[in-house]
Amino acid sequence: MTLIRWDKSFSVGVNEIDGQHEKLVGMINDLNEQMRQGKGKEILGRLMNALVAYTGTHFRTEEKYLDQFRYPEADSHKQEHEAFVRKVVDFKAGFEAGRLGLSLQVMNFLSDWLQNHIKGVDRQYGPFLNAHGLK
């Protein structure tokens, strides 16, 4: 079962970022599918680690462009990224310590945050970056 269906409503109009967003959606869907199939902690841990690492890569890409073109909302955007990273690091630590299972609640948080972030604040910077020549 697909948790998030990728469609054009996720597009921010910047190819590199759209590609990264689509990969993040795929990673969350894969993690969700493996969890639903009852895969072991090792597989889920590996997928969680990959998701955390790729999220960091993606956030650095976005923030590089926001800084490069002096996006007026860059600071608040970075604060959202930082809050998300803290939450996911907490999930990961709890999972690795055996205090927290990978649950529907965790998956729903990841799904909801990603969808709301992309379709909300990320889509706001798209026209700004496009106006500065980034497509």
Q: How far apart are the first and last CA of the chain?
A: 32
CB of 27 closer than 8 Å to CB of 57: no
Predicted local distance difference test score (pLDDT) of residue 103: 75
The label of the residue with tokens 């998030």 reads 4
Predicted local distance difference test score (pLDDT) of residue 69: 97
Element (H, E) at 14: none
Predicted local distance difference test score (pLDDT) of residue 96: 81
Entry pTM? 0.91
Q: Is the pLDDT of residue 101 over 80?
A: no
Predicted local distance difference test score (pLDDT) of residue 97: 83
106: confidence class by pLDDT, cuts 50, 70, 90: confident
Q: Alpha-carbon distance 110 to 100, whole Å?
A: 15
pLDDT digits (tens, 9 = 90+) for 41-80: 788 888 888 988 999 999 999 999 999 999 999 999 999 9
